[in-house]
Amino acid sequence: MFGGLKINTEHTIRFLPHNINVKVVKGTTILEAAIKYGIGIRSVCGGKGLCGKCRVIVRRGRVEVRESNLLKREELERGYVLACLAKVVEDVEVEVPADSQIGRPKLHSSVVLPSIKPKPMIRQEVLPIHNLLNTLRTYASSKDVLEKAYEVSSKGLEKVSIILNDTRKKVIDVSEGEKGLYGLAVDIGTTKIAVALVDVIGGRVLDTASEFNRQLIYGEDVISRIRFVLDRADGLKEMQKAVIDTINTIIDTFCKKYRISGEDIYMVTTAGNTVMTYLFVGLNPYPLIRSFKERVEVSRTPYWLEARDVGLNVNRNSDVYVLPCAGRFLGGDVVGDIITAGLNFSEEPALLIDIGTNTEVVIGCRDWFLGTTAPAGPAFEGWGLTHGVRAITGAIESVIIDPKTCKASYRAIDNARPIGVCGSGYIDLLAQLFINGLIDVFGKFYRDSDCPYIRKRGEKYEYVIVPAEESAIGKDIVVTEEDLYNIIDSKSSVCSAVSILLKKMLLTVYDIKRVYVCGAFGNYLNLNSAMTIGMIPEFTNASIEYIGNGSLGGAILTLLSKDYRVEAERVAKLLASIELLLDPDFMDEYQAGFMLPGKKELFPTWRDASRGIKPWRRHN
């Protein structure tokens, strides 16, 4: 009340198609409201008004907007605003269009694990009651374990069961009888968090699930998130909480499905890239990116946390083992990839590639490993491309072009109406346009082509993949020359990383006998397309294996086996890294990739063969 006048400082935002009403104070941006209430709106730049991904439509009511040249006139006329630049000044109804939503991720949690003999860090022992005190003296125990021990021993039982962590030399729990021991393995990805529920005694993975990392609402790339940590006093805490909340959501789902309690989960292992590891354990990751001209030393020893300290909904005495990192660009996720693929037991040099926004590449065998990270950029996640989207429902994930008609046919995730194209779809597209003679070796559309799906818009050429009437966004889904350039840019970066590692170790494409493809993206990547465009060299003597989510694999293996934990720590110490951008050969290698497919020594047969491709003509 002010002088008898009530000032209304609260307004309602109705989010569509979610049909959720939320209350916010006047002046809150639509994006801030969405973050607070868990409405998934894309925000690649972390709300800085730079990426244009947070487009929403104001259906009713008025908002105060800061101008942006990221919106076209037609869009403004249709009520589009950028959610991060639109402040609420009265009750509004806001529609979040399909291509601005953070949809549900396609589940990429599968992993091919080696067969192992379980030898977990935790175990259960049934003891005569008179031995309990001795054990409690030998191992460390928290106050609540001691209280529980007292309570159980006063019941006059002959035997009790205790759950121990041998590695940490501590008692986790005391119970009246034997019980199931569950563990949780977690892959903390920049985009997605994948979790496996593991029966530790039986050595079995019971289930896997994944969710988008809730840190996404602070920005899709790690730089935006680090900026958020620097800008806010509680930024680091908030960022850590976002990860913990995501994991806890998955734990709740598992607990309901398997009728267990979080208290029955006695051990957690996690793996993630170095920035994600820092954010999870509560370390400021800024020193990792302060200067790319200098090397940064990163601890290669694992972190141990107490579940109670980080707020995970598991047994409060559980330990959390965080796989060690090997450098600022080679985190515990790569260590996980290596032990899952078994590179650490290989007798001859093998190559491992984990494709993503940052693509990690490692060459090595039992006693040596050399790795690097290629800054492939966010194009594989769909960022910066005209109709790029992540691998969510409706994203086109594969494309084939009919050589007779030059029309594209495609497959969209969940067979939904297409909303855009995700990374694997773009790689297929580039490959298909190239082999069908619709683009030249520089990724330019042939100007004199009579393909009916290539058209000129203003000064720019584009290829229509999906006409408006088939798409879910009410307009044609196209790929432009600029998009193709961005994909070529990303693939050149990946290929140059492989090439430089081969060179450093005096190896050629013929010397590699095994290639392991891992990571979420790798699972859906058409390797033929990747080779056609010159992203992965032509390893003529190698067998290729998809291992899936190797980072999750590493977390599972260390959860189930002390030997694998020792191996992970050995690998982290041995893994030498090259900082690609500081390497004197990088520029040459990178530029060579701009002429498809790339250098002859990397594509010994395909490079010459591709020169025989003729430009497409209607009556070819």
Closest approach of Cβ 103 to ligand FES, in Å? Answer: 17
Alpha carbon distance 356, 158 (integer Å): 56
Angle at the Cα of 212 from the Cα atoms of 209 and 213, rounded to 5 degrees: 110
Q: Give the C-alpha distances (Å, rounded to integers) separating 537 from 100, 426, 433.
A: 35, 18, 19
Q: Which residue has the tokens 């972390």?
A: 46
| CB closer to ligand FES out of 221 and 483 | 221
Residue 439 DSSP label:
B
Q: Which is nearer to ligand FES, 52 or 105 (CB)?
A: 52
Q: Please, what's the largest Cα pairwise distance for the chain?
A: 91
Instruction: State the nearest-atom distance from the C-beta of 83 to ligand FES, in Å.
Output: 6
Cβ closest to ligand FES, residue 52 vs residue 437: 52
66 with 96: CB under 8 angstroms?
no
Question: Taking the complex as a whole, how short is the minimal distance between the CB of residue 68 and ligand FES, in angstroms?
Answer: 7
* Pair of tokens at residue 516: 């392991």
Q: Which is nearer to ligand FES, 84 or 454 (CB)?
A: 84
Query: Alpha-carbon torsion 466, 468, 474, 479, what sign?
Result: positive
Q: To the nearest whole angstrom, how small is the minimum distance from the Cβ of residue 421 to ligand FES?
A: 20
Element (H, E) at 351: strand 350-354
By C-beta, is 43 or 499 nearer to ligand FES?
43
Nearer to ligand FES, 41 or 339 (CB): 41
The runs of H, that is alpha helices, within 92-221 are: 129-138, 143-153
Q: Which is nearer to ligand FES, 248 or 386 (CB)?
A: 386
Helices and strands (DSSP H and E) totals, the chain? 18, 28
Interaction site with ligand FES (CB under 6 A): 43-45, 47-54, 82, 84
Nearby residues of 132 by Cβ (< 8 Å), 6 or more positions away: 149, 153, 160, 162, 174
User: Looking at beta carbons only, is 221 or 462 nearer to ligand FES?
Assistant: 221
Residues 6+ apart with CB under 8 A from 6: none
Give yes or no for a contact between 63 and 88, defined as CB atoms under 8 angstroms apart.
yes
- The rounded distance, in Å, linking the Cα atoms of 557 and 568 is 9
The residue written with tokens 């790689």 in the block is: 427
Q: Which two tokens stand for residue 317?
A: 């005495």
Minimum CB separation of residue 29 from ligand FES in Å reads 9
- Specify the residue, 80 or 461, whose C-beta has the smaller distance to ligand FES: 80
∠ CA 6-11-14 to the nearest 5 degrees? Answer: 155
Tally the C-alpha atoms within 13 A of residue 259's C-alpha that lie toward its C-beta: 0
Closest contact distance (angstroms) between CB of 578 and ligand FES is 33
**Nearest distance from residue 261's CB to ligand FES, in Å?**
39
Supply the angle between the helices 222-231 and 235-258 in degrees, to the nearest 10.
120
Q: Which of 297, 290, 291, 311 is nearest to 243 (CA)?
A: 311
Query: Would you give the end-to-end CA distance of the chain in angstroms?
Result: 79
In terms of CB distance, is 43 or 315 closer to ligand FES? 43
Residue 439 Cβ vs ligand FES, minimum distance, rounded to whole Å: 30
Between 42 and 387, name the residue whose CB sits nearer to ligand FES. 42
